[in-house]
Amino acid sequence: MGNDLKIQTKSATFPMPGVNGEITVDFSVVFDGISGYKLAYAGIQQLNAFNTNGTIQYIEFTNQRISGNTVTWSVHTKRGTGSDIKTCVIQGIFVSI
């Protein structure tokens, strides 16, 4: 494995339960892939969470897994009332193979 790196970013919508709900589910983001490189790491570059007329009580990303060009987290979210925005920007680091 070489030390040449390439970066790719993806925007995604993470799961959020209904009003006064709580969930823990898998959340996956698929990168396009880069010929001659493999996905070695992915991180949350930006998290946008907004809830009008209510509260977002909890957002937790855990148990990251990478398989091929896909990164998956277990996401635990809990919210109160109101409408919500739940977007994020994920950055993938690819290393040459």
pLDDT of residue 56: 80
Residue 28, domain member (yes or no): yes
Residue numbers of the domain that contains 73: 22-33+46-88
Counting the structural domains of the chain, the total is: 1
Beta bridge partners of 62: 74
Residue 1: what residue type? Answer: M
Residue 2, domain member (yes or no): no
Question: Is 30 within 8 Å of 70 (Cβ atoms)?
Answer: yes
**Closest to 6 in 3D by CA, of 87, 89, 69:** 69
Average pLDDT, whole number, for the chain?
Answer: 90
11 or 85, greater pLDDT = 11
Mean pLDDT of the region 81-90: 83
Residue 94, domain member (yes or no): no
Question: How far is Cα 20 from Cα 77, in angstroms, rounded to an integer?
Answer: 11
Residue 76, domain member (yes or no): yes
Residue 54, domain member (yes or no): yes
1 or 40, greater pLDDT = 40
Q: Per-residue confidence at 67, pLDDT binned at 50, 70, 90?
A: very high
Q: What is the pTM of this model?
A: 0.87
